[in-house]
Amino acid sequence: MNDHNTTTNHTMTLTNNETGEAFELPVLGGSVGPKVIDVRRLYGDTGYFTYDPGFTSTASCESTITYIDGDEGILLYRGYPIEDLAVHCDHMEVSYLLLFGELPNAEQKAKFEHDITYHTMLHEQVNQFYRGFRRDSHPMAIMCGVVGALSAFYHDSLDINDPWHRTVASYRMIAKIPTIAAHAYKYAIGQPFIYPDNGLKYSENFLHMLFATPAEDYEVSPTLARAMDRILILHADHEQNASTSTVRLAGSSGANPFACIAAGIASLWGPAHGGANEAVLNMLHEIGDKSNITEYVKKAKDPDDPFRLMGFGHRVYKNFDPRARVMQQTCHEVLEELGITDEPLLELAMELEKIAVEDDYFVERKLYPNVDFYSGIIFKAIGIPTTMFTVLFAVARTVGWIAQWNEMVEDPSQKIGRPRQLFTGPPRRDFVTLDKRG
Ligand code: SDX
């Protein structure tokens, strides 16, 4: 798959203190970041499993796509810092980079944009599919359903072993996810669907489908289109997070790409993951005023209180999430461009951040704002309803899921993911007939 996976010249010795047996485990090195102990032969050689619920110390795969240094707050897409990509690129360039490993030249970019643009429309039957949902369905429920149903409509791009099928399915998914998302919003508010306009750029087209109506012309603000593009870039990929791991695991069984992306959407929906951006806005509304911040920070620190500071903390980042910094800057730019000078939620968020990052509880646990802390305020300023926030995250992350799915399918060492367990249930016992049960 790539030549970065190098068996280093040293091993780790595992000694069984019960038997005195020692086992040599090879150490593998990548191009950058922690080395790994190769435990693929561990069970065969020792009869022992490793145990790592939540995969806090487990590398599930080898990848060349995204690198995160959580301690330094570094995020690289194919080696390029997210800060540079967010400022100098648009989402189509970054999508090309994630898919193919290199930034496109002008000709490659133009062709990629053309090919994506000419796949943005949905099969008309898919548009009918929405009719089965209640109007008050959560848009993420609609996204799970519609994306999962795509394999029922696009039969000519389901053979994962055919590179051409994979390319068509990948382009279709990236191209259609904004249309699917915009239709979910329109369906929820009872407005007619707005079809894609091939004369518009990706983010411009998305905003047009969200906010235009057949009743009058709708001009997309270049500022909002730029902000949306930057938000899509910041959310595009993020190593082996929960939803990406879900896509990989679903794909490892040979499931079709549309089903795998639907699985990723389902996983992203959780409030501990992509659902956090919606939860942050709900939390800020619940806190309501700066005078209540102390009380809520206290609740967040109370181990007996399930309340957590949404938008804070991260499994990998033990420093500022670099995306949060860019998001905060974008937040100020968008509000200023829109002439929103006194957004109380932003004031509240900034005060909450100030208090939390100075509080020992958060400092000791290295809990900083993550990508979701400020994104919701920008979405609100753009006019996106709270229930659509995680949908936007899914729109952005689709290219990352697709890139990671392709990498997994093309990996010659790939096999079905099938973790084992530490069993603590009842050992074998004799059956008890109904008449003998107490
Ligand atoms: C995303 O993985 C990714 O890359 C995800 C993502 C991506 O781009 O794909 O970056 C997107 O999901 C960002 C995270 C969005 N989620 C939230 O903002 C929800 C709030 N955050 C927490 O739920 C939590 O921080 C997680 C889920 C993000 C991380 O949880 P971990 O790594 O399992 O950490 P943990 O739960 O073991 O917490 C360690 C300690 C605990 O306290 P102690 O048991 O040590 O006393 O920190 C505490 C936790 O109680 N803690 C928090 C907290 N987050 C962790 N306490 C209060 N508020 C919080 N937000």
Given a contact cutoff of 8 angstroms between Cβ atoms, the answer to whether 36 and 27 are in contact is yes
Q: What pLDDT, in 10s, does the model give residues 219-268?
A: 999 989 999 999 999 999 999 999 999 999 999 999 999 999 999 999 99
435 is catalytic: no
What pLDDT is stored for residue 409 in this prediction? 96
Distance CA(152)–CA(3), nearest Å, equals: 38
Question: What's the gap in Å between 355 CA and the centre of ligand 1?
Answer: 18
pLDDT, tens digit (0-9, with 9 covering 90-100), for 274-313: 999 999 999 999 999 999 999 999 999 999 999 999 999 9
Query: What is the spatial distance between Cα 24 and Cα 9, in angstroms, rounded to a whole number?
Result: 12
Distance 238 CA to ligand 1 centre (A): 15
Residues 6+ apart with CB under 8 A from 197: 205, 208
- Residues 40-83 have pLDDT tens digits of 999 999 999 999 999 999 999 999 999 999 999 999 999 999 99
Mean pLDDT of the chain: 94
Residue pair 120/93 in contact by the 8 Å Cβ criterion: no
The H or E element that residue 25 is part of is strand 22-29
pLDDT single digits (tens) 346-392: 899 999 999 988 999 999 999 999 989 999 989 998 899 999 999 99
Please state, in angstroms and rounded to a whole number, the distance separating the CA atoms of residues 287 and 296.
7
Between 56 and 5, name the one with better pLDDT. 56
Atom of ligand 1 nearest to the CA of 373: 18
pLDDT for 5: 57
The closest residue, in CA terms, to atom 30 on ligand 1 is: 315
Residues facing 24 on adjacent strands: 13
Catalytically annotated residue among 90, 229, 237, 372 = 372
Q: What is the pLDDT of residue 1?
A: 38
Q: Whose CA is nearest to atom 34 of ligand 1?
A: 315
Residue 415 pLDDT: 93
Residues near ligand 1 (Cβ within 6 A): 238, 241, 272-274, 276, 300, 303, 308-316, 365, 367, 370-372
Catalytic residue among 91, 119, 183, 314: 314
Q: Predicted confidence band at 155 (pLDDT cuts at 50, 70, 90)?
A: confident
pTM for the full predicted model: 0.94
Question: Does position 189 have pLDDT exceeding 60, yes or no?
Answer: yes
Q: Which numbered atom of ligand 1 lies nearest the CA of 241?
A: 2
Secondary structure of residue 319 in the 3-state scheme = coil
- Rounded to the nearest angstrom, the distance between the alpha carbon of 279 and the centre of ligand 1 is 13
Residue 343's pLDDT is 86
The number of CA neighbours under 13 Å toward the Cβ of 360 is 0
Ligand 1 pocket test target in 60, 315, 362 with most atoms within 8 Å of CB = 315
**Is 237 or 155 the better-scoring residue by pLDDT?**
237
Q: Which helix (H) or strand (E) holds 96?
A: helix 91-100
Atom number, ligand 1, closest to the C-alpha of residue 315: 32
Three-state SS at 15: strand
Q: Residue 2's pLDDT is what?
A: 42
Known catalytic residue: 372?
yes
Which residue's structure tokens are 């599919």? 129
Residue pointed to by tokens 């080696």: 79
The span from the CA of 254 to the CA of 251, in Å, is 5
Convert the pLDDT of each residue in 164-187 to its tens digit: 999 999 999 999 999 999 999 999
Nearest alpha carbon, ligand 1 atom 18? 311
pLDDT number for residue 3: 45
Decide: residue 334, CB within 10 A, 0-12 exposed, 13-18 middle, 19+ buried.
buried
Q: Give the ranges where 269-307 is alpha helix by DSSP (H).
A: 276-287, 293-301
Question: CA dist 294 to 285, 349, 352, Å?
Answer: 15, 13, 9
Q: Which residues pair with 66 in a beta bridge?
A: 77
| SS3 of residue 292 by DSSP | helix
